[in-house]
Structure 1
Amino acid sequence: MRKNIFLIIVLSTVCSFSQNIEIKPYIDYLNTIEKKSAKDYILEKFKTNDIVVLCERDHSDISQYELIKDIITDEYFKENVKNIFTEIGVVNLQPEITNFLKIKGLDTVYVETKLNEFQRNASSYFIWDRYSYHYLLKTIYTINNNSENQISLYPSDSEFDWKIVQTSEDYKRAYEIEIEPRDSLIASNIINKYKEIQTENNKKALIILNIRHAYKVHSHYNNGFIQQNSGKYLSDFFKDRAFFVLSNRPRFYINENKLVYELIQDGKWDGAFKYLKIDNIGFDFKNSIFGEDNFDLQNIINVQKYSDVFDGFIFYKNIENHNLIDFYEGLVSKDFEDEFFRRFKIQMEYFENTLIVKNLENKDFQRKILKEMNTKRYRKYQNFENLIESRDKYLTH
């Protein structure tokens, strides 16, 4: 009998955590709500809203795009939503990308060539290196190639065309004119295209914006600066037809010229989900302890709580399962190398990085850069161990 009691104690220690008092209110709330998967939660919101704005995590995180793949592959999405707008991807490429993704039966090599082309020209950077964009484009092409219901993708970032940029002065003119009003331009691109494509039977769209761009408020800072956010413009236009969703992610800020990552609410949220072994759920912020928490994703002074900025929340995969991927094989193909280094040099001249400009003349340096660009790099968030510690301190055996 004493042996059995000892075994029970050991097993309970190994298999469960004690309930830390600081995360107990979150645990209690999660125990009261209906458990809907992140996918089902997003699809459900389309039944009561025309627009769902999803706040993207780090651009490189592929796990969130695996969720997006599940959402847009669903028959309900293909039949009733159909439209996706993204912050990533310059608007001047919109017609070509939108049309290409609907052409069926193309040779796989040609498809890959075109997707790489879209990736390279996606932004004002000399190249867009986040693999998630290629993944999304290929996902949509595959869905459309195997379905009668076609999904339309509308990249909506401010206009930029490397073909007209020949010098750092050209870059300055093309780049800086789009920076200050960028969020209003993104929102305008989305709204104008939405007005063009909406019909009586097709008024729905998924809009994917990164971090503050997805806020339904502008960002007011202590120094008096007001940062315009695309989400605020979209909220003003769509009003209660739009629903804004945050996904679990670290917060980040600059400290002494270093990028510092921390978990929301010092890890309490993540701790509660791990305690309950929940890694896939969605719920509204309204009338929830999560929505009532002080907004700490960024330090802005014009909001009090999370429900002021977002309407809902999805928790999809614990932070150790967020997989960030940069670069991939074929990103800089042989026939693109000269153009790649031309752009690289121009952008470094603009930022006055004379060391890199000089190194670009070195063949060994060029080979090193090309190898990096064409090799997938898997990584975790910076100071990843600290993020885990800040969560797990609420979980004691």
Structure 2
Amino acid sequence: MKPVEETYIKAGFWRRLVATWIDLFIIYAITVSLIELTAVIRVRISFEPLYITLGAIYSTMWLTYKGQTVGKMLLGIIVTTNLEKQPSLKDVLLREVLGKWGIAITVPIVIGRLLVGQAWVPTVYDGLVLLPWLVLLFFHYLITRRTWYDLLAGTVVKKSSGYLGFMRPVFLSLIGAVVLGLGTKVTEFTILGWLPCRLALFYSMRSSAPYTVFLKRGHAKPLDYIIGLFDRYDVVVLCERPHPEASQWDFIYELLRDQRFIDRVGHVFTEYGQVGMQSYLDNFMATDGLSIDEIHERVIHIMRNWAVWPIWTNTNFYTYLTRLYQLNQSLPHAKRIHHHFTDVSVNWPDLSDEGYKAYRHSLINRDEQMARIVIEKMTRLAESSTSAPPKCLVVMNYRHAFDLTGGLLEAQRRNTYEFLKVAFEDRTANVLLNTNILLFVPIAGGVWDTAFEETGNRPAGFDFEDSPFGYDPFDMFPFFPGLKGRLKYREVFKGFVFTHPLDNQYLGHGIPGYYDGFEKEALRRAKFVSDDYYRGIETIITRKNKESMATKHELPNHLIQSLLELSMLAFTSMGMLVGLGVSALNCRSRDEQ
């Protein structure tokens, strides 16, 4: 069937939008399939740069060949020059590569990265830059009724009322994209059980080769590395993962029960636990022969009198204190582990609304107060020691274990480790446990995790200095992105310990019997914080028979990545559904002719 003569009417905004939507799905399908193929040969490609590149190639090829992309063919619109001729390669390059994918999308991102430098947060900042820029371009279109890249290239988008005789290849192209895109996602989910998101935030394009080469040299096991640090330092600070993560406390307990730690260290300080409960803890640990129920009762009392938050039901520390008591029961009195709380004291039973506000205000210098507890106790131990200087392990969560001073003496101190560094100088070191950022974003765009996976996820501990890991920009504190460009990991931490991959880490929630007989007091305290917090605790108490038992949950990183990937798939798939619908209507119309 020969094409009929074409007549042109200017294409409207919505018709162009739907055509673009169809094309976005096709480009998405090609992108995700290529990323998956390159991953097989261990080549890392992030979604955004590949999507932009393929988008430019896709539109350039189709417009040069036909004056239409697949979406435009299905919606019956065509790109021509102002003289109603098919655009030349030069016209298409001006319109698509330079105007649309270049200046409209790539250039603002590149300028942003040049201005912000290494502090740029991939994907997040890309969106923050693009959104206002695209809004401006949209208003330009509303005013001029032409996109700015059409003005640049001297092209127009018009409606094609005649049949172009090209429906079968178009339909096959769309079906191919459906099979390619959905097939890739189904395959990933079948193999992994979740959908990895390849946005640059999760999937850096940097090669893992330098890291794997370093790891293959062989390094100390985590326990050996930490114990070895006490040969060089008196105070070793361990940077805890997110509070609910439970497996890290298994590692900490294994460290404490190591005979070398018992013989040479014997003291551990934690952010967990308020100083006001120290005498109760000491009495608990010194009381021999307690039954299981008595141990549980005493640990529960400590957990109910937490610092900062009125309610704390993470399982890990409850389990740790229980095991620590049992460990000490197996040791001679002179060899028992001494545990010290450092957090700011609070007397919950006597607290009022005004008292709670005053307490929260007192936490302004909380880090300095926690550091002071360690410093004063270690000073007293040193004064009473007749042999080697005392040593201790300090466990601090997240930023409390950071050194963000960059080694500058005049820098303001905000974190506990920074105050300890001033007091103990070169006798202290801090170590990062392998983790992710805010529970779901991988460190260094996932390169570290990939390197360990490629070398068998072997547990290891090593100094950041003279390792490729140490020279990566510090990106664990996105609240202050400028730190990423200013500091490297070797400047923030002394060492790094990989105990096991993220897939083997888990969140532990719930303490058996925590709310039993404690319901009214828990709600009274919860009211101090906020109405939402109160309602949350009230809901938990209502179903406490289900919540009072300890439960394990996977880290949310896979879930969040899957939701993000499903969101992109769902968004672009709308174009796929529209395309299939239009194809069916066009085929039916053709049959009727």
TM-score scaled to structure 2, two decimals? 0.56
Any gaps of 5 or more consecutive residues in structure 2?
Answer: 1-38, 45-206, 565-593
Are 2:477 and 1:298 equivalent residues in the alignment?
Answer: yes
Q: 1:187 aligns with which of 360, 371, 384?
A: 371
Q: Residue 521 of structure 2 corresponds to which residue in structure 1? A: 339
What secondary structure, in the 3-state scheme, does the structure 1 residue paired with 2:286 have?
coil
Alignment-mate amino acid for residue 555 of structure 2: Y
Separation of aligned partners in 2, 1:278 and 1:240: 32
- Cα deviation for residue 38 of structure 1 reads 0.8
Q: Residue 368 of structure 1 corresponds to which residue in structure 2? A: 542
Are 2:347 and 1:173 equivalent residues in the alignment?
Answer: no
Contact (CA 8 Å) 2:237, 2:429: kept in 1 or not?
Answer: yes
Distance 1:105 1:201, change over 3 A: farther
Q: Residue 556 of structure 2 corresponds to which residue in structure 1? A: 382
Structure number with the higher strand fraction is 1
Separation of aligned partners in 2, 1:227 and 1:261: 28
Separation of aligned partners in 2, 1:336 and 1:162: 13
CA distances 1:209-257 after superposition (whole Å, capped 9, x unpaired): 00100012359xxxxx9771111001111111111100111112xxxxx
What secondary structure, in the 3-state scheme, does the structure 1 residue paired with 2:272 have?
strand
What secondary structure, in the 3-state scheme, does the structure 2 residue paired with 1:330 have?
coil
- Cα deviation for residue 380 of structure 1 reads 2.4
What secondary structure, in the 3-state scheme, does the structure 2 residue paired with 1:180 have?
helix
Superposed CA RMSD in Å reads 2.6
What secondary structure, in the 3-state scheme, does the structure 2 residue paired with 1:126 have?
coil
Contact (CA 8 Å) 2:462, 2:496: kept in 1 or not?
Answer: yes
- Cα deviation for residue 66 of structure 1 reads 0.9
Contact (CA 8 Å) 2:275, 2:341: kept in 1 or not?
Answer: yes
Alignment-mate amino acid for residue 205 of structure 1: C
Distance 1:319 1:330, change over 3 A: same
Contact (CA 8 Å) 2:234, 2:389: kept in 1 or not?
Answer: no
Contact (CA 8 Å) 1:17, 1:275: kept in 2 or not?
Answer: no
- Cα deviation for residue 376 of structure 1 reads 2.0
Separation of aligned partners in 2, 1:43 and 1:373: 38
Separation of aligned partners in 1, 2:361 and 2:533: 20
Distance 1:356 1:387, change over 3 A: closer
Are 2:422 and 1:236 equivalent residues in the alignment?
Answer: yes
What secondary structure, in the 3-state scheme, does the structure 1 residue paired with 2:474 have?
coil
Contact (CA 8 Å) 2:238, 2:431: kept in 1 or not?
Answer: yes
Alignment-mate amino acid for residue 442 of structure 2: L
Q: 1:25 aligns with which of 183, 198, 210?
A: 210
Are 2:217 and 1:38 equivalent residues in the alignment?
Answer: no
Alignment-mate amino acid for residue 379 of structure 1: H
Separation of aligned partners in 2, 1:42 and 1:355: 41
Separation of aligned partners in 1, 2:353 and 2:458: 47
- Cα deviation for residue 305 of structure 1 reads 0.4
- Cα deviation for residue 150 of structure 1 reads 0.5
Separation of aligned partners in 2, 1:176 and 1:17: 53
Q: 2:402 aligns with which of 203, 207, 215?
A: 215
What secondary structure, in the 3-state scheme, does the structure 1 residue paired with 2:239 have?
strand
Distance 1:354 1:141, change over 3 A: closer
Q: Percent of aligned positions with the same letter in both sequences? A: 27
Alignment-mate amino acid for residue 81 of structure 1: V
Larger relative contact order, structure 1 or 2 (CA cutoff 8 Å, min sep 6): 1
Moved more, 267-276 or 115-124: 115-124
Contact (CA 8 Å) 1:80, 1:202: kept in 2 or not?
Answer: no
- Cα deviation for residue 266 of structure 1 reads 0.6
Contact (CA 8 Å) 1:331, 1:373: kept in 2 or not?
Answer: no
Q: Residue 98 of structure 2 corresponds to which residue in structure 1? A: none
Moved more, 102-111 or 276-285: 102-111
- Cα deviation for residue 388 of structure 1 reads 9.0
- Cα deviation for residue 265 of structure 1 reads 0.6
What secondary structure, in the 3-state scheme, does the structure 1 residue paired with 2:440 have?
strand
- Cα deviation for residue 328 of structure 1 reads 2.1
Q: Residue 8 of structure 1 corresponds to which residue in structure 2? A: none
- Cα deviation for residue 129 of structure 1 reads 1.2
Separation of aligned partners in 2, 1:113 and 1:211: 30
Contact (CA 8 Å) 1:218, 1:229: kept in 2 or not?
Answer: no
Distance 1:342 1:276, change over 3 A: same
- Cα deviation for residue 19 of structure 1 reads 4.3
Alignment-mate amino acid for residue 338 of structure 1: K
- Cα deviation for residue 164 of structure 1 reads 2.3
Contact (CA 8 Å) 2:523, 2:534: kept in 1 or not?
Answer: no
Distance 1:355 1:215, change over 3 A: closer
- Cα deviation for residue 292 of structure 1 reads 0.8
Are 2:458 and 1:273 equivalent residues in the alignment?
Answer: no
Separation of aligned partners in 2, 1:86 and 1:17: 43
Contact (CA 8 Å) 1:160, 1:175: kept in 2 or not?
Answer: no
Alignment-mate amino acid for residue 472 of structure 2: D
Q: Residue 247 of structure 1 corresponds to which residue in structure 2? A: 433
Any gaps of 5 or more consecutive residues in structure 1?
Answer: 1-15, 220-224, 253-259, 391-397
Distance 1:54 1:378, change over 3 A: same
TM-score scaled to structure 1, two decimals? 0.82
- Cα deviation for residue 346 of structure 1 reads 3.1
Distance 1:378 1:80, change over 3 A: same
Alignment-mate amino acid for residue 331 of structure 1: Y
Separation of aligned partners in 2, 1:215 and 1:43: 20
Moved more, 294-303 or 62-71: 294-303
What secondary structure, in the 3-state scheme, does the structure 2 residue paired with 1:123 have?
coil
What secondary structure, in the 3-state scheme, does the structure 1 residue paired with 2:552 have?
strand
Q: 1:156 aligns with which of 330, 338, 342?
A: 342
Kindly tell me the number of residue pairs found equivalent between the two proteins: 351
Runs of 4+ in 1 over 3 A off after TM superposition: 16-21, 299-303, 352-355, 385-390
Structure number with the higher helix fraction is 2
CA distances 1:239-287 after superposition (whole Å, capped 9, x unpaired): 11111100111112xxxxxxx7310011000000001112411011011
Alignment-mate amino acid for residue 144 of structure 1: N
CA distances 1:30-81 after superposition (whole Å, capped 9, x unpaired): 122x332111111111122111100000111111111111111111111110
Q: 2:273 aligns with which of 63, 73, 89?
A: 89
Q: Residue 394 of structure 1 corresponds to which residue in structure 2? A: none
Q: 1:197 aligns with which of 363, 370, 381?
A: 381
- Cα deviation for residue 133 of structure 1 reads 1.0
- Cα deviation for residue 143 of structure 1 reads 1.0
